[in-house]
Amino acid sequence: MDYQPVVNGSSPTAHYVSGAIEVDGLVVPTRRRIHIRQEDRTPDLSWTPITLDLADVRIR
């Protein structure tokens, strides 16, 4: 996923997802780490400004 959200000053971001689980036949990543991209478009992995961890995933 590659976009520039307004909430972080429109900085380009890099998303890393992991922790895939299967829920009702769908594969769902349970961990997302979002990094700001540097001027050369590589992600700055020295810090993680946004993390998202999902638990108790259900499909309705």
Instruction: Dump the DSSP string for the chain.
Output: -----GGGTT--EEEEEEEEEEETTEEEEEEEEEEEB-TTS-B-TT--SEEEE--S----
pLDDT in tens, 32-46: 999 989 999 999 999
pLDDT at 13: 86
> Could you give the CA distance from residue 60 to residue 57 in angstroms, rounded to a whole number?
10
pLDDT at 53: 95
Residue 27's pLDDT band, with cuts at 50, 70 and 90, is: very high
**pTM of the predicted model as reported, rounded to 2 decimal places:** 0.74
Statement: residue 2 has pLDDT above 80: no
Q: Is 39 left (phi over 0), alpha (psi -120 to 50) or beta?
A: alpha
